[in-house]
Amino acid sequence: MMAVVVQKYGGSSVADADKIKNVARRAVAVKERGNQVVLVVSAMGSTTDELIELANQVTDHPDDRELNILLSTNKIISSTLLTMTLRSLKTKTINLNNTQTKIKT
């Protein structure tokens, strides 16, 4: 029976291309041992803080809904780059965001 292994990587783990490649290699190694892998990634590096700062520069009171949309773009970027990396390693993968999976973080 195939085990499902969930790996969660924070912002510093996906902060640049080399780190994203490292995450991808780790995931591939786990998959090659016969496991199904689910990857959960945060925004790259300190980009969340940078976007919050930018939002506060354009308005004194950022709307929660709009701020959430703004911050979700960061996770889309990191997960898409990771998906691209995995595919370059010939690994079948699909990229889903939290609204597609109904996972709340």
pLDDT class for 16, splitting at 50, 70, 90? Answer: very high
Q: What is the mean pLDDT of residues 11-39?
A: 97
pTM for the whole thing?
Answer: 0.87
Angle at 82 between CA 80 and CA 84, to 5 degrees: 70
Three-state secondary structure readout of 32-84: HCCCEEEEEECCCCCHHHHHHHHHHHHCCCCCHHHHHHHHHHHHHHHHHHHHH
Quote the mean pLDDT of the chain: 93
> What type of residue sits at position 80?
T
In the prediction, which pLDDT does 1 show? 75
In the prediction, which pLDDT does 30 show? 98
pLDDT tens readout for residues 72-96: 899 999 999 999 999 999 999 999 9
Residue 104 has pLDDT above 70, yes or no: no
Set out the domains of the chain in order of their start, with CATH numbers.
4-92 (3.40.1160.10)
Q: What is the mean pLDDT of residues 59-84?
A: 94
